[in-house]
Amino acid sequence: MRFDLVTLFPEFFDSPLSSGLIAKALAKNIATVHRTNPRDFTRDRHRKVDDEPYGGGAGMVIKPEPVFAALDSLPVFPRRQVIYLSPQGEPMTQDLFKALISDCDQVVLLCGHYEGVDERVMTAVTREVSLGDFVLTCGEIPALALLNGVIRLLPGTVGKVESLSADSFEDGLLDYPHYTRPPEFNGLAVPEVLRSGNHQAIAQWRRDQQLQRTRRRRPDLYEKWQAAQSQLSSDKP
């Protein structure tokens, strides 16, 4: 799978792309990541990529010319998404990551800055995605989150595939608590059921913990999960 990062700060990704599982995935060609700087397509001696907004107002806006030139320089795969990272986009979710894997061979991530990009750039964008209901200094941070989340799901990145199926959000619930050795630390003991060897009891405990944790921490997710379960029940013959 190919990723193209259109960014004014390509060096932002140096460390994340050379660390951990993502670095190993890139080394194994599970995915490829390419960086393109719109500043390289400017024609003035100051390499200017932004200008004042029409109509006045604070801040600067990224000009359309260097962005379009950067996008036009990229190869175009048949199954391609051009994603603009913006607080105004749809929420970034696990389902989005899985959809990109199944539907795309190429993902172009356009990282915004300042007050954003000239609105005419949006004619080249196929999807707008937000990391959350807050504003950051740059689009590189949400782009990195999306990049990491998608590459992590590609076959071969994570050693044990079954660990992915137990992740939070995979079945609409948060993950259950995890414990490892020692069995007791600072007066806190690992739940006895996890040391019992009774796999059926362990599975039930974990499911109960998922339900309790989701209901307590994310009632919105819990209500959504309940609705989905009700729909499944009503669909059964």
C-alpha–C-alpha distance, residues 176 and 211, integer Å: 9
Strands (E), the chain: 2-6, 32-36, 50-51, 61-62, 80-91, 106-111, 127-130, 184-185, 188-189
Is there a catalytic annotation at residue 115?
yes
C-alpha–C-alpha distance, residues 76 and 63, integer Å: 22
Is there a catalytic annotation at residue 237?
no
Tell me which of 2, 35, 80, 152 is the catalytic residue: 152
Tell me which of 50, 65, 115, 175 is the catalytic residue: 115
Tell me which of 50, 65, 128, 167 is the catalytic residue: 167
Q: Rounded to the nearest 5 degrees, what angle is found at the Cα of 79, between the Cα atoms of 74 and 83?
A: 60
**Contact by Cβ (8 Å): 105, 79:** yes
Tell me which of 10, 53, 64, 87 is the catalytic residue: 87
* 4 three-state secondary structure: strand
The alpha carbon of 103 is separated from its chain's Cα centroid by a whole number of angstroms, namely 15
C-alpha–C-alpha distance, residues 59 and 235, integer Å: 53
Task: Say which residues have a Cβ less than 8 Å from residue 189's Cβ, sequence separation at least 6.
Answer: 183
Is there a catalytic annotation at residue 87?
yes
Is there a catalytic annotation at residue 152?
yes
**Contact by Cβ (8 Å): 42, 48:** yes
Q: Which residue has the tokens 């600067």?
A: 60
Catalytic residues: 87, 115, 152, 167
